Amino acid sequence: MNVMARLGSRLARWRDWELNPVVVKELRQAVRNWSVTGMLLLFLVLLFGTSLMFLVSQTFTSQFNQRLGAQIFQAFVVILGGASTLFIPLYVGVRLAIERQENNVDLLYISTLTPGRIIRGKFYCGAYMTLLFFSACMPFMAFTNLLRGVDLPTVFCILLVLFLVVCFAVQVGILLACLPLSKPFKVLVGLSGIGIAFVVLSSVVGLALELMRSGVGAMMAGRDFWIGFSTAVGIGFAGFLLLHFLSIALISPASANRALPLRLYLTVLWFLSGGLSFLWVRHTKDTRMLLPWAIVMGLLLFAALFVVISNHDQLSLRVRRRIPRAPVRRALAFLFFNGAAGGLAWVALLLALTFGATWWALDWSLDRARGFQSLSAADVSDFATTAAGVISYLFAYALTALLVHRRLLSGRPPRLAGVLALIIPGALAVVPNLGMFFLNRLTWDAVERLQLGNLFNLFIVRESAHQLDHLLCAGTWLMIACALNARWFVRQFQSFQPLETAVTPPAEATPTGPS
Amino acid sequence: MKIQVRNLRKEFGRTVAVDNISFGFDSGHVFGFVGPNGAGKTTTMRIIATIEEPTAGDVLLNGVSITEEPELARKLVGYVPDLLPAHGDMTVHEYLDFFARAYGMRGRRRARAVAAVEEFTHVTGILDKHLKALSKGMKQRVSLGRALVHDPEVLVLDEPAAGLDPRARVELRELLNLLAERKKAILISSHILTELTEICNGVVIIERGRILETGTIEEVLKKSAPRRTVIIRLLERDHHRNPQLLRELLEMPQVDHAREVAGEIHFESSGDESAACEILARLIAREYRILEFRQTKANLEDIFMTVTQGGVQ
């Protein structure tokens, strides 16, 4: 059934629409949870106390052009931001983490609820709670408008930004809760999450104050405001969707095709953001506008590289049954379905296209006659060397880790390959410098000297010739690693075949029971 | 509804938890799944409930493959795991209502289904109680209710009687019998084998992931314990004739291993039921005043002890 038909059938059944069951369950649990009730009461007391404090203190002062509303509103934004950015993501995340920590986590997965509905349910619960806190705050904020100093468009704009930030933070909380970590690690991740939330909160409050100072109402009439606003919201939404798909993949059963939605999403994101960047380059006549896209996509794909090599080599029956039979479609599916080999090919392809296209555009625009602004020729060359070096090093680490895992640790879970791929660059960066430290030879000058194999050294070597040495080293290592992994890769590609029905043999003389 | 487990295999790394097992049973029957700890019972049940995926083989629920159409298969199965429900801060009604919603039931249909399950599992008196405040027996009822809320045709129960008091066990047995009458196909694992003998029509005995015995209870008993033990008790004032009776019995060709145990004569007979009748007729003809003449069947526990060795993978 295509998307339109599905949408049509859903619209036809609108009377049957019901809330996501997970939302109902979570909200039922939230309303009787003492922490939610306590937080809401504390929040109201703080709002009330703050209003009272401002009103009482300002009664004794009389200033010309008094802007009491703006002062109280600033205090309210801090309180609301603190309560919603810190508490709600923490509450949603901790609840999910506890549920996943409990032994009978399967209970959620024996119904017909999909992992996507579960994650969406958890997110909607966080969004509803945010609305609850915002609604509780609304009368106080509307009151500030009567006290002068803040206009209603500013109030609504700030609240909208804050709401979107809290929604993003809730999704981050959900993702952290879904990570397959032990309890102590989860606590550690939770604590760092709280730290990040504080940073986000201070940034949001800063932004809110800036918006109040500059007057959002006046800016809203201009086109630039909406371009900036929609760009920020678009980037935030793309990040949100990435976290959302990651969370779904993390709670999906091991036999599911976890990689497919995530790789598809990243490919679509890559394509759309790349297209927009090229349009922007054409509009501004400046090829440097491609660099943010190339760097962000590069970082995402580098992270994806460590994830894909943690995939199982053997595909589950469920995945194998969905492999297309047509050779072209099967080759495409190889890139997007579970499996380390396909994942490596997918990352390599996207990275080559990203940096290849960026380098080509930068190089093309060096000719000033074309009327485009660009980096200098030396910078373009530096960009190409650095990008090639980083990519070669990372693939070399990843392939080496895969080889070590396959040859020496084949009985251990495949995620160990990902961990190894992180340990190798870490060890190569730390061990030589640690040795120099113990030999009392560690100086900044020594760190800046050539350290072949150390990815981070590529960024700090002084001489450009050393960058070429790095490129040579990384390229050689990569070629050796490719040669050693070639048979495995070919075997993986060849075994990527749809499951024949005959693979499940008919039951041998089934001793059927009472019938 | 026909349940067919076909050449099922499950590997966890190098460990083979389930090794190429096949069996089948129909609706309206209770099938016991017996084996020592670590035999592969829970893994098999989790595969049938679509929680685990088999490494090879398949399970067909009326032709619906759990590997090809797990979503559809999930609608046909109700699974009661060996762990009792979490979500301690939910009430019994909320818990059942949540799972009814999770199975896609809407509006009045859901309300009716939840009410019916609450009544069937006798939890109507505790609907507003939190799960954390329930006894183990009550939690087991709620767990069974959760598995039944979408009216599945197959029920998979993993150790449902573990830790229950005798009354709760009897009540659970009654519920299972009622479910069998409602044409549900039930697969139940338990270590309480005497109970399984009473409620099951068929049985699978599994060890180290392999099937040791399978079939109807009668078939398995016949196959694994072909001899029947017969107990004779004479009138108390005739107990002095016990040695004579022993001698006479041992002279009969169908009788083996006759012995006196606490005033009773126990002997094993390799013949069928008519042979036992013949023995009884002969004894009456010789004027033994027999107060009791009964056969004891070997039960599942005896067979379990005979066929299994207590090994785990």
pLDDT in tens, A225-278: 888 888 889 999 999 999 999 999 998 887 888 999 999 999 999 999 999 999
Residues A337 and A364 in one domain: yes
**Percent of the residues in chain B that have a pLDDT greater than 90, as a whole number:** 18
Would an 8 Å CB–CB cutoff place A513 in contact with chain B? yes
Residues A363 and A438 in one domain: yes
Q: Is residue A515 part of a domain?
A: no
Compute the nearest-CA separation of B53 from chain A (Å): 6
Compute the nearest-CA separation of B277 from chain A (Å): 28
pLDDT at A508: 38
B64: left (phi over 0), alpha (psi -120 to 50) or beta: beta
**A-chain residues within 8 Å CB-CB of B89?**
29, 32-33
Distance CA B31, CA B22 (A): 14
Distance CA B313, CA B311 (A): 7
Angle between helix A327-336 and A340-364 (nearest 10): 90
Residue B63 has pLDDT above 50, yes or no: yes
Number of domains in chain A: 2
**Could you tell me which of B229, B210, B222 has the C-alpha nearest to residue B309?**
B210
Residues A294 and A401 in one domain: yes
Residues A459 and A387 in one domain: yes
Residues A243 and A274 in one domain: no
Of A223, A252, A281, at which residue does a domain stop?
A252
Distance CA A176, CA A167 (A): 14
**A-chain residues within 8 Å CB-CB of B57?**
504
Distance CA A27, CA A25 (A): 6
pLDDT at A63: 62
Mean pLDDT for all residues in chain B: 85
Considering A248-262, A386-400, B129-143, B279-293, the range whose residues carry the highest mean pLDDT is A386-400
DSSP A6-53: HHHHHHHTGGG----HHHHHHHHHHHT-HHHHHHHHHHHHHHHHHHHH
pLDDT at A514: 38
Residue B269 host element (H or E):
strand B264-269
Would an 8 Å CB–CB cutoff place A410 in contact with chain B? no
Q: Is residue A1 part of a domain?
A: no
Contact yes or no for A511 and B215 at CB 8 A: yes
Q: Which residues face B65 on adjacent strands?
A: B60
pLDDT at A66: 64
Distance CA B201, CA A378 (A): 83
Contact indicator for B137, B164 with CB cutoff of 8 Å: yes
**Which residues of chain A are modeled with pLDDT < 70?**
1-3, 15-16, 59-66, 102-109, 501-515
pLDDT at A503: 44
Residues A328 and A280 in one domain: yes
Residues A451 and A334 in one domain: yes
pLDDT at A38: 92
Q: Which residues face B156 on adjacent strands?
A: B79, B187
Residue with tokens 């040791």: B212
Higher pLDDT, B166 or A269: A269
pLDDT at B15: 85
Contact yes or no for A103 and B29 at CB 8 A: no
Residues A118 and A183 in one domain: yes
Contact indicator for A79, A46 with CB cutoff of 8 Å: yes
Compute the nearest-CA separation of B43 from chain A (Å): 13
Distance CA A293, CA A275 (A): 10
Among the listed ranges A126-135, B142-151, B259-268, which one has the minimum average pLDDT value? B259-268
pLDDT at B97: 93
Residues in contact with A77: Cβ distance below 8 Å, sequence separation at least 6, in sequence order: A158, A162, A205, A208, A209
Residues A123 and A209 in one domain: yes
Would an 8 Å CB–CB cutoff place A508 in contact with chain B? yes
Q: Is residue A15 part of a domain?
A: no
Contact indicator for A229, A291 with CB cutoff of 8 Å: no
Token reading at B135: 């006894």
Count of all residues that appear for chain A in the document: 515
Residues in contact with B269: Cβ distance below 8 Å, sequence separation at least 6, in sequence order: B227, B228, B229, B230, B254, B255, B256, B275, B276, B279
- The SS3 assignment for B206 reads strand
Residues A246 and A170 in one domain: yes
Residue B28 has pLDDT above 90, yes or no: no
What domains can you pick out in chain B, each with its CATH number? Answer: 2-223 (3.40.50.300), 229-296 (3.30.70)
pLDDT at B59: 92
Distance CA A226, CA B255 (A): 100
Residue with tokens 């009461």: A41
Token reading at B196: 């399984």
ipTM surpasses 0.85: no
Q: Is residue A322 part of a domain?
A: yes
Residue with tokens 């660059």: A425
Domain span holding position A172: 20-252
Q: Is residue A478 part of a domain?
A: yes
Compute the nearest-CA separation of B181 from chain A (Å): 14
List helix spans (H) across A321-414: 327-336, 340-364, 377-408
What letter would DSSP give residue A84?
I
pLDDT in tens, B206-248: 888 898 888 887 777 777 665 678 889 998 888 888 888 888 8
Contact indicator for A343, A493 with CB cutoff of 8 Å: no
Residue with tokens 């915002």: A134
Of B53, B56, B98, the CB nearest to A21: B98
Residue with tokens 């080889």: A403
Contact indicator for A164, A232 with CB cutoff of 8 Å: no
Higher pLDDT, A317 or B306: A317
**B-chain residues within 8 Å CB-CB of A33?**
89
pLDDT at B313: 53
Q: Is residue A68 part of a domain?
A: yes
pLDDT at A512: 43
Q: Hey, of A31, A111, A252, A321, which one would you mutate to test binding to chain B, going by the most B CBs within 10 A of its CB?
A: A111
Residues A120 and A24 in one domain: yes
Residue B277 has pLDDT above 50, yes or no: yes
pLDDT at A255: 81
Angle between helix A115-146 and A223-251 (nearest 10): 150
Contact yes or no for A112 and B54 at CB 8 A: no
Q: Is residue A2 part of a domain?
A: no
Residues A79 and A179 in one domain: yes
For residue A172, the tally of other CB atoms under 10 A from its CB is 20
Q: How many pairs of residues across A and B have Cβ atoms under 8 Å apart? A: 135
